[in-house]
């Protein structure tokens, strides 16, 4: 499999604080990779470095072979990297359909879609994500689970080749989390979208991810299939606790 | 984004209303009526232009006075030297260019910082013009041979119609959807592929075109250019008041706000000349407190709530 995303020795320093240090890994086309670590491990910072919200202090990020580190977030999105946020950021004063339409209008496309194409693709994404009934509601009126689903829908509407999901299950009830897990699986099955997933829900990560990268204090301390990673001594000590 | 089936309707409607206003009203109204109607349509043009940046992106600008004044200044400088229409177009494009130049640095900040910055820019431009004029030994310029009031009125109607259509097209276009996404969450907008900086500066430039022409028409009315009057910050504040009263998420709100405030003050100043500003203030306080989304926004929300009650069984995921 060819690498879609290559993260090479990436680092980020804020003043004297090393948030991410010398992290390297790759994502192959169609793969689902999990990014695990305790709070403050540097997962969201790494997301920000890949998506262009921040420029790395060192290292390279390549997407489809092109260096993208330090490029603007909108440019990176149009190249085919979509993301969601740990603290959800829908467009609350716009309707659910309008939120998705933003992704269709500004996402990774060779030309600007016509009004008919926007309407058709918006409807298709809403149906895929089970949001059709809510299309005319304001995004701010949705529940947390609804807003998280909407963020995934908006990101998918931009036709990403790589979808980065930052804690889409955090704050959800077990039933809602199970629904979100099914939704992500279905997206992967139908679209074959490559995913990089940050999640604290270990069970969900085990079920969803083919490979897991573990971070601790900004460094990568483990990588491999989920069932191998959770038995790794270093990971157990750093992430799950010494007595686990 | 409903690039609505009724989209062509308001554009056609605006053209019909503009034609009627331009050719029927002068026959019905006297000189006073034409002066009032000119004032009204110039305010409509100003609020429509303001909403393109400030209503859609949430960047509340106090810079419109600078664009009105700059347009007026360019118009007076070119008066007599170039054809009338060329002067009008030059006034609009100069203001647009000024907005593009100052927009880059100004739009790096938002919220109250942007408000203060645009006020500062407007004051800076005002005093720059005052100093230039003072160094030339001029404290005001007279114009001779300005168009008749009825012609100015017709031009103002045309300008208001253009401003309305611009605001409407911007609202429902890809550009407008991007601007509204910026207002809702700038970080998320950028992460969704929107060139945030380009859009903001573009909207700032676009919103400054019409005020430049308004400035030119304003001095045509008075036949006199005086910087303190043309760059008055009160103009920017009045625009905001009209947009807040009407609602500023689409062109209808500011249109209603401009109609509401102009007609109300016109009715009041005649019947209660000592009290009319007090009454106007009370009415505005009421509108802001009871209708924070403006008259139009509140009406739309209530109608939507009623229609939702009529369709039971909706669920939220």
Task: Select from B49, B93, B45, B100 the least CA-distant residue to B70.
Answer: B93
Nearest to B196 among A74, A78, A118 (CB): A74
Quick check: A83 and A47 in contact, CB under 8 A? yes
**Which residue out of A50, A73, A157 would a mutagenesis test of the B interface target, given it has the greatest number of B Cβ atoms within 10 Å?**
A73
- pLDDT tens digit string along B52-87? 999 999 999 999 999 999 999 999 999 989 999 999
CA distance A128 to chain B (A): 14
Assign residue B154 a region (left: φ > 0; alpha: ψ between -120 and 50; beta: otherwise).
alpha
ipTM: 0.89
Q: Which helix (H) or strand (E) element contains residue B203?
A: helix B196-222
Sign of CA dihedral B24, B30, B31, B34: negative
Contact at CB, B193 and A154, closer than 8 angstroms: no
Inter-chain CB proximity B1 and A51 less than 8 Å: no
- The CA distance from B43 to A177, in Å, is 53
CB spacing of B189 vs A93 below 8 angstroms = no
Is B221 near chain A, with CB under 8 Å? no
C-alpha A104/C-alpha A158 separation (Å) is 5
CA distance A238 to chain B (A): 32
Is A219:A22 a contact under the CB 8 Å cutoff? yes
* C-beta separation of B301 from B307 below 8 A: no
Q: Which of these, B316, B315, B309, B308, lies nearest to A142 by C-alpha position?
A: B316
Q: Kindly list the domain boundaries of chain B, sorted by start residue.
A: 5-233
* Residue-level pLDDT at A118: 93
- Using CA coordinates, name the residue in chain B closest to A150: B317
Contacts 24+ apart (CB under 8 A), A233-238: A238/A38, A238/A214
CA distance A212 to A12: 21
B214 near B236, Cβ under 8 Å? no
In this structure, what are the phi and psi dihedrals at residue A212, rounded to the nearest 5 degrees? -130, 135
Q: Which of B305, B261, B233, B266 is nearest to B61 (CA)?
A: B233
Shortest Cα–Cα distance, A230 to chain B (Å): 32
Residues 6+ apart with CB under 8 A from A61: A5, A6, A7, A8, A10, A49, A50, A67, A68, A69
In this predicted structure, what is the pLDDT of residue B247?
87
Distance (Å, whole) CA B109 – CA B117: 9
Please state the φ and ψ torsions of residue A240, each to the nearest 5 degrees. Answer: -90, -15
Angle at B291 between CA B288 and CA B295, to 5 degrees: 105
- Pairing assessment for the beta strands A81-83 and A162-166 based on DSSP bridges: parallel
Cα angle B253-B202-B1, degrees, rounded to a multiple of 5 = 50
Contacts of A92 in chain B (CB under 8 A): 184-185
* Cα B250 to the center of its chain, rounded Å: 12
Closest CA–CA distance from residue A64 to any residue of chain B (Å): 18
For chain A, which residues lie within 8 Å of any Cβ of chain B, measuring from their own Cβ?
51-53, 72-74, 77-78, 82-83, 85, 89-94, 97-98, 101-103, 105-108, 112, 115, 118-119, 130-131, 133-134, 137, 141-143, 145-146, 149, 154-155, 158
Q: What is the pLDDT of residue B266?
A: 87
Backbone phi, then psi, for A81, in 5-degree steps?
-115, 115
Give the best residue of B57, B188, B315 to mutate against chain A (max A CB count within 10 A): B188
Half-sphere exposure in the Cβ direction for A3 (13 Å, CA): 13
Cβ of B178 and A101 within 8 Å? no
Inspect the interface and report whether the beta carbons of B191 and A137 lie closer than 8 Å.
no
Find the CB nearest A105 among B177, B196, B316.
B177
Q: Chain B window 229-258: which residues touch A at a Cβ cutoff of 8 Å? A: 249
**Residue (of A75, A97, A21, A86) closest to A47 by Cα position:** A86
Q: Kindly state the helix (H) or strand (E) to which residue A26 belongs, with its residue range.
A: strand A17-28
pLDDT tens digits for chain A (244 residues)?
578 999 999 999 998 899 999 999 999 999 999 998 888 889 999 999 999 999 999 999 999 999 999 899 999 999 999 999 988 999 999 999 999 999 999 987 778 888 899 999 999 999 999 999 999 999 999 999 899 999 999 999 999 999 999 988 888 888 888 888 989 999 999 999 999 999 888 888 888 899 999 998 999 988 999 888 888 888 888 766 655 4
Cα of B311 to nearest chain A Cα, Å: 12
- Mutation test of the interface with chain A: which of B193, B194, B304, B313, choosing the one with the most A Cβ atoms within 10 A? B193
Task: Say yes or no: B191 contacts chain A, CB-CB below 8 A.
Answer: yes
The CATH H-level (homologous superfamily) assignment of domain A3-240 is P-loop containing nucleotide triphosphate hydrolases (3.40.50.300)
B188 touches chain A (CB under 8 A): yes
C-alpha to C-alpha distances, B58 to B52, B61, B139, B185, nearest whole angstrom = 10, 9, 37, 10
Q: Which residues of A touch B192 (CB under 8 A)?
A: 74, 77, 82, 102-103, 106-107, 154-155, 158
* Cβ atoms of residues A181 and A208 within 8 Å: yes
Interface test with chain B among A91, A138, A175, by most B beta carbons within 10 Å: A91
pLDDT of residue A205: 87
- Distance from C-alpha of B294 to C-alpha of B13, rounded to nearest angstrom: 23
Q: Can you give the pLDDT at residue B14?
A: 82
What's the pLDDT band for B159 if we cut at 50, 70, 90? very high
Cα B185 → chain centroid:
24
Nearest CB to B193: which of A106, A133, A145?
A: A106
Confidence band, pLDDT 50/70/90 cuts, at residue B15: confident
For the beta sheet containing A162-166, the strands, ordered from the edge strand earlier in sequence to the opposite edge, are A81-83, A162-166, A194-198, A32-36, A211-216, A219-224
Say how far apart CA B64 and CA B231 lie, in whole Å.
Answer: 9
Report how far residue A220's alpha carbon sits from residue A59's, in angstroms, rounded to the nearest whole number.
Answer: 14
Q: How many CA atoms lie within 13 A of A203 on its CB side?
A: 6
Min Cα–Cα distance to chain B from A68, Å: 14
Q: How far is A193 from chain B (nearest CA, A)?
A: 17
pLDDT digits (tens, 9 = 90+) for B215-245: 999 999 999 999 999 999 999 999 999 999 9
B150-B151-B156 Cα angle (round to 5): 95
**Distant-in-sequence, close-in-space partners of A206: CB < 8 Å, separation ≥ 6:** A226, A227, A230
Q: What is the pLDDT of residue B312?
A: 47
Alpha helices for chain A (secondary structure H): 43-51, 73-79, 96-106, 115-128, 144-157, 174-191, 202-208, 226-229, 233-235
B277 touches chain A (CB under 8 A): no
Nearest-CB residue to A73 (from B180, B190, B314): B190
The shares of helix, strand and coil residues in chain A, as percent rounded to the nearest 5, are 40, 25, 35
Query: Is the pTM higher than 0.90?
Result: no
């Amino acid at each position: 499999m060819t690498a879609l995303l290559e993260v090479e020795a990436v680092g980020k320093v804020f003043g004297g604080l090393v948030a991410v240090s010398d992290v390297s890994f790759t994502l192959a086309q169609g793969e689902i990779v999990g990014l695990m670590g305790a709070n403050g491990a540097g997962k969201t910072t790494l997301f920000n470095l890949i998506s262009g919200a921040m420029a790395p202090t060192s290292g390279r990020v390549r997407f489809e072979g092109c260096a993208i580190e330090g490029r603007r977030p909108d440019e990176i999105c149009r190249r085919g990297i979509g993301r969601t946020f740990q603290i959800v950021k829908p467009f609350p004063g716009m309707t659910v359909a309008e939120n998705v339409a933003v992704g269709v209008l500004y996402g990774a496309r060779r030309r600007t879609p016509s009004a008919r194409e926007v309407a058709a693709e918006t409807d298709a994404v809403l149906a895929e994500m089970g949001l059709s009934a809510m299309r005319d509601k304001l995004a701010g009126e949705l529940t947390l689970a609804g807003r998280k689903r909407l963020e995934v829908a908006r990101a998918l509407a931009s036709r990403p080749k790589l979808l980065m999901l930052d804690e889409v299950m955090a704050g959800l009830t077990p039933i809602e989390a199970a629904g979100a897990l099914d939704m992500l699986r279905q997206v992967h099955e139908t679209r074959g979208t490559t995913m990089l997933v940050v999640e604290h829900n270990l069970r969900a990560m085990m079920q969803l991810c083919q490979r897991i990268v573990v971070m601790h204090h900004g460094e990568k301390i483990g990588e491999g299939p989920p069932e191998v990673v959770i038995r790794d001594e270093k990971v157990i000590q750093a992430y799950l606790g010494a007595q686990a | 984004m409903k690039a609505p089936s009724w989209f062509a309707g308001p554009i056609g409607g605006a053209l019909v209303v503009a034609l009627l206003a331009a050719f029927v009203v002068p026959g019905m109204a006297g000189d006073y009526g034409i002066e009032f109607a000119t004032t009204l349509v110039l305010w409509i043009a100003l609020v429509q232009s303001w909403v393109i940046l400030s209503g859609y992106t949430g960047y509340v600008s106090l810079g419109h006075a600078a664009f009105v004044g700059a347009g007026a200044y360019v118009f007076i400088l070119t008066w007599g030297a170039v054809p009338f229409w060329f002067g009008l177009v030059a006034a609009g494009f100069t203001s647009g260019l000024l907005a593009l130049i100052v927009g880059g640095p100004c739009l790096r900040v938002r919220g109250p910082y942007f408000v203060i910055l645009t006020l500062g820019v407007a004051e800076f431009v005002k005093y720059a013009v005052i100093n230039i004029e003072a160094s030339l030994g001029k404290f005001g310029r007279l114009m001779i041979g300005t168009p008749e009031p009825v012609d100015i009125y017709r031009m103002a109607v045309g300008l208001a119609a253009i401003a309305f259509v611009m605001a409407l097209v911007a609202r429902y276009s890809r550009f407008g959807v991007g601007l509204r996404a910026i207002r809702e969450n700038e970080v998320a907008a950028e992460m969704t592929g929107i060139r945030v900086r380009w859009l903001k500066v573009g909207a700032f430039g676009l919103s400054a075109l019409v005020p430049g022409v308004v400035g030119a028409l304003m001095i045509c009315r008075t036949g006199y250019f005086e910087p303190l009057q043309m760059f008055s910050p009160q103009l920017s504040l009045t625009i905001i008041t009209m947009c807040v009263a009407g609602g500023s998420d689409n062109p209808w709100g500011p249109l209603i706000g401009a109609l509401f405030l102009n007609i109300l003050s016109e009715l009041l100043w005649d019947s209660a000349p000592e009290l009319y500003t007090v009454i106007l203030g009370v009415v505005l306080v009421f509108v802001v407190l009871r209708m924070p989304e403006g008259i139009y926004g509140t009406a739309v929300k209530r109608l939507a709530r009623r229609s939702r009650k009529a369709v039971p069984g909706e669920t939220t995921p």
